[in-house]
Structure 1
Amino acid sequence: MLSRHIWCAVELTHNCHRPLLKQTSNPFLSARIQFRNAFHNRRSARRPRVEEDLGPFHIESGPLDSKSLFRPLLFTVGVSTASVVGCAIWEYEKLRSHAASVFRRPGNWLSVHQKKIISQFKSEPGPISKWWSSLKENEKVFYPIFALNCLVFAAWRVRSLQPVMVKYFCSNPASSAKCLPMVLSTFSHYSPLHLAANMYVLYSFMPAAVATLGKEQFVSMYLSAGVASSFASFLYKVVSKQPGHSLGASGAIMAVLSYVCVQYPDTKLSIIFLPMYTFAAGSAIKVIMGVDLAGVLFGWKFFDHAAHLGGAAFGIVWSYWTSQEIWGNRDKFLQYYHTIRTNDTSR
């Protein structure tokens, strides 16, 4: 049982649809208004949508066919497999490096004198190195993710980059670039409120998740959940014939949230603006998933409820099955990798 108090906030993945804009002489202003209005669009799913001219670039749209899901499905499986394999190798190399450093350590007497000699020639670490060394394990995972999200957020503000951002950093089943945006959109935020809310929730739940999974397995789950939630959004849009654009880390964060709630169901949570009211994590995830399920069934448009639901389901599957059956049985692969690595180094 985890008794500590975790603060949480409402977080979202924007489901971007194209509102009808008035003509403007400034194409970049038109694009800016286009996105700002899209992020707060609550129109009915049955209302017809009009493809708008965004000046020097446009948002792709077209008929949604079930055949278009084949490549995104393969991409989802491929990215998830690659993330598990890559993070398992990362863990192996870290352990191997640690073991090698232990074996290379000299005896106690020699070690003391060696440290004295090295300290005379070793320069004082800089402020960044000291800051990084002082971070906790979960913070060393959070800050690179945070920095990458901030970098992409800044790129949205560069006008010359906006056509690239629309094509590759917005998940869109009708786009010619379907697969790569499924990953890149996980690190993409246009609204500062959207970015702040998502990063706050991620920072709140990461300590428990990283402590349980370890940073390598956490990164694998986070990347896999991001692309899986994008595919869930694709599937919903194709089945319901409702085109749209999505971006944000909410799908991956929902996987982290649901994993923590399943692992520590008695943890007390509270909403940031109402800290006096607490509720159990196990009940919270049921309510959150219930709201997203209702959003999917009734076609609510303020959030990408399908991505939320897909991310939450992915976190639960990882908790009950993937963590034990796939990550827990990585030893067979690592033995094979160890053999290949040993043969390569011996040549």
Structure 2
Amino acid sequence: MALSHIMKFNQICCNRHLLLQIEDKFQKFPNRAFRRLQKQNKKEGFDSLASPFNNVNVDTGSIRIRKLWKPLGFTLMFSTACFGGAAVWQYENMRAHAINMLKQPTVFLYKKKSETYYKSSDWRRQLNEWWNGLSPGEKVFIPICFANILVFAAWRIPRFQPTMLNYFCSNPGSKSVCWPMLLSTFSHYSAIHLFANMYVLHSFSTGAVATLGKEQFLGLYLSAGVISSFTSYLYKTVTKQAGFSLGASGAIMAILGYVCTQYPDTKLGIIFLPILVFSAGSAIKVIVGLDLAGVVLGWRIFDHAAHLGGAACGIMWSYWGNQYIWHKREPLLQYWHSLRGSIK
């Protein structure tokens, strides 16, 4: 599989730190309360990806180690459910494909007779042709991107902002600590942040889906998003640095970590610096090194702990997860098969 084409690194993610820079002087919230908050405590906060939220006062006294048990349990259960659901989804897809192949002659005759009926609408036919022409990676990327765009639009509606702040920003000091770990990975306040993350995800999703399959890819992406949020919680709790985080960076770092570990010799480049070419293996080492330095030195440029959590998840899945977890899913599929039969 030609990963050099897949990753042509417009794909940069390598200087992921450059791509993920956010507008700092961007559009202000229409809500006046947020504008007042922006003027207060300008030097406080944690994650530059969430610049408008850094200036919201958070009680650091509410951040305690014992409060992490609930997020930890959520992380374990959600990750298990993601990969279990992905395994069942793959089983159902393979079963449907097998049944379709067995019925193929009948389906062919049915299509001939009814083609003018179910494709009578031009736009529907064109939409079907467009969708069928996409690669498997693009078919996974587009729904994820669409969900991120919807959440981005919701930030622009003043009446939704309190809900968005409570559930679409992760913060260990909040009252709601579990679902924001997932929902914040679909949340972007800045257009530049959204574009940068979706650009990197699109660049790497084709190669990752080609290797993992869409089901395993989605399981890794969603679980890594929650794991990266928990890593951020842990870091903020230990260092007593309160603050809001949001964005798909942690989940994307898992995909990046997986692909760069799986194909370390793939040549990558930066879109605006075509003369600069480097290997994927070197790229992931540099990115992890920068995030590690950010954690050790206490940088507040990005949520470096979340980036490290996501990257570690992808790298570990490349070395151990695929072999010792995904390839051991047979008992689950047998149970699902028997359960499915008993339901019928």
Counting aligned pairs with the same residue, the percent is 52
Q: Does 1:187 align with 2:173?
A: no
1:109-155 superposed Cα distances (whole Å, 9 cap, x missing partner): x7765543233544345132222222111111000000000000000
1:194-215 superposed Cα distances (whole Å, 9 cap, x missing partner): 1010000001111110000000
CA distance in 2 between partners of 1:211 and 1:274 (Å): 27
The residue that corresponds to 2:280 in the other structure is 281
1:67, distance to aligned residue in structure 2 (A): 0.3
Cα RMSD between the aligned structures? 2.8
The residue that corresponds to 1:337 in the other structure is 336
1:41, distance to aligned residue in structure 2 (A): 9.1
Q: Which amino acid aligns with 1:27?
A: A
The residue that corresponds to 2:67 in the other structure is 68
CA distance in 2 between partners of 1:158 and 1:169 (Å): 14
Work out whether residues 50 and 189 of structure 2, in 8 Å CA contact, stay in contact via their aligned partners in 1: no
Work out whether residues 14 and 248 of structure 1, in 8 Å CA contact, stay in contact via their aligned partners in 2: no
The residue that corresponds to 1:123 in the other structure is 119
Distance 1:30 1:119, change over 3 A: same
Distance 1:188 1:60, change over 3 A: farther
Distance 1:332 1:26, change over 3 A: closer
Summarize the alignment of residues 108-119 of structure 1 with structure 2, pairs less than 5 Å apart: 114-119=110-115
Farther off after superposition, 111-120 or 166-175: 111-120
Aligned length: 323
CA distance in 1 between partners of 2:41 and 2:216 (Å): 35
Distance 1:130 1:317, change over 3 A: same
1:264-288 superposed Cα distances (whole Å, 9 cap, x missing partner): 0011111122111000000110111
Instruction: Look up the SS of the partner of 1:266 in the other structure.
Output: coil
Task: Point out where structure 2 has 5 or more consecutive residues left out of the alignment.
Answer: 23-30
Work out whether residues 266 and 282 of structure 1, in 8 Å CA contact, stay in contact via their aligned partners in 2: yes
Work out whether residues 295 and 304 of structure 2, in 8 Å CA contact, stay in contact via their aligned partners in 1: yes
CA distance in 2 between partners of 1:183 and 1:112 (Å): 43
1:14, distance to aligned residue in structure 2 (A): 8.5
Instruction: Look up the SS of the partner of 2:245 in the other structure.
Output: strand
Q: Does 1:27 align with 2:26?
A: no
The residue that corresponds to 1:21 in the other structure is none
Farther off after superposition, 228-237 or 32-41: 32-41
Distance 1:262 1:112, change over 3 A: closer
The residue that corresponds to 2:77 in the other structure is 78
Task: Point out where structure 1 has 5 or more consecutive residues left out of the alignment.
Answer: 17-24, 44-48, 53-58
Work out whether residues 168 and 181 of structure 1, in 8 Å CA contact, stay in contact via their aligned partners in 2: yes
The residue that corresponds to 1:56 in the other structure is none
- Counting helix residues as a fraction of each chain, which structure ranks higher? 2
Q: Which amino acid aligns with 1:86?
A: G
The residue that corresponds to 2:200 in the other structure is 201
Work out whether residues 90 and 215 of structure 2, in 8 Å CA contact, stay in contact via their aligned partners in 1: yes
CA distance in 2 between partners of 1:260 and 1:41 (Å): 24
Distance 1:215 1:60, change over 3 A: farther
Q: Which amino acid aligns with 2:196?
A: A
Q: Which amino acid aligns with 2:33?
A: P
Work out whether residues 59 and 242 of structure 2, in 8 Å CA contact, stay in contact via their aligned partners in 1: no
1:28-55 superposed Cα distances (whole Å, 9 cap, x missing partner): 4335777999664999xxxxx9864xxx
CA distance in 1 between partners of 2:91 and 2:168 (Å): 32
Summarize the alignment of residues 150-229 of structure 1 with structure 2, pairs less than 5 Å apart: 150-229=149-228
